[in-house]
Amino acid sequence: YIKDHDNLYIFGAGHIGQALSLKSSDLNFNVNLVDSRKDYLFMNEYKDVNYVFANKPWELIKNLSPQSYFIILTHSHDYDFKIINEILFMNSFKFIGLIGSKTKKNKFSNRLKDNGHDQSLINKIDCPVGLDIKHSKEPNEIAISIIAKLIDYRSRTNLQNYKIIKAINE
């Protein structure tokens, strides 16, 4: 754990989660890979990745670092929904990305509204997460598209913060 690095929580240790955890560990993130399946979670043990086993991953959310990056790509739509729901209730995050289609996003959006979440908060969910690479199913390509989105988001946020600080100091 490096204090000045952003925390990245990847929920889902399948092929994309594994590729994402490996590739993002060199990019100034404290990488945390979370899954309820030990055989997937410990498939590869990369040295710069923190592995977190949780039977009910959504129950971890309230104990995680605020202002973190969250990528949700579990094996279960039910798990995905419960995790997103808890992150929105926490209401202290930098980025939320969800694997899936626009149809999944619309279904989740309606359910999240029914759970009392504000539409402006729901709109912050990036789904399908990553850059639009059309019909790629290759885990490494999807992981790289997600990383590109994280880097883009982080650089835009840092630039906005720089401009605010610069304006205050002028």
Give buried/exposed letters for 91-127 (b at 16+ CB in 10 A, else e). eebbbbbbbbeeebbeebbeebeeeebeeeebeebbb
pLDDT at 77: 96
Under the banding of pLDDT at 50, 70 and 90, the label for residue 49 is very high
Determine the pLDDT at residue 104. Answer: 95
pLDDT in tens, 52-71: 999 999 999 999 988 999 99
| pTM (two decimals) | 0.90
Under 8 Å between Cβ of 99 and 10: no
Mean per-residue pLDDT, 28-32 = 94
Domain ranges of the chain: 6-169
- Once rounded to an integer, what is the mean pLDDT over residues 63-83? 95
pLDDT tens digit sequence for 149-164: 999 998 887 666 556 6
Residue whose pair of structure tokens reads 């889902």 in the numeric block? 12
Indicate the SS3 state at residue 55. Answer: coil
Contacts of 49 (CB under 8 A, 6+ apart): 21, 22, 25, 31, 32, 33
Name beta bridge partners: 30.
Answer: 7
Q: How far apart are CA 155 and CA 159, in angstroms?
A: 6
118 pLDDT tier (thresholds 50, 70, 90) = very high
| CATH of 6-169 among 3.90.800.10, 3.40.50.720, 3.30.360.10, 1.10.530.10 | 3.40.50.720
DSSP characters for 124-142? TEESS-SS--TT---HHHH
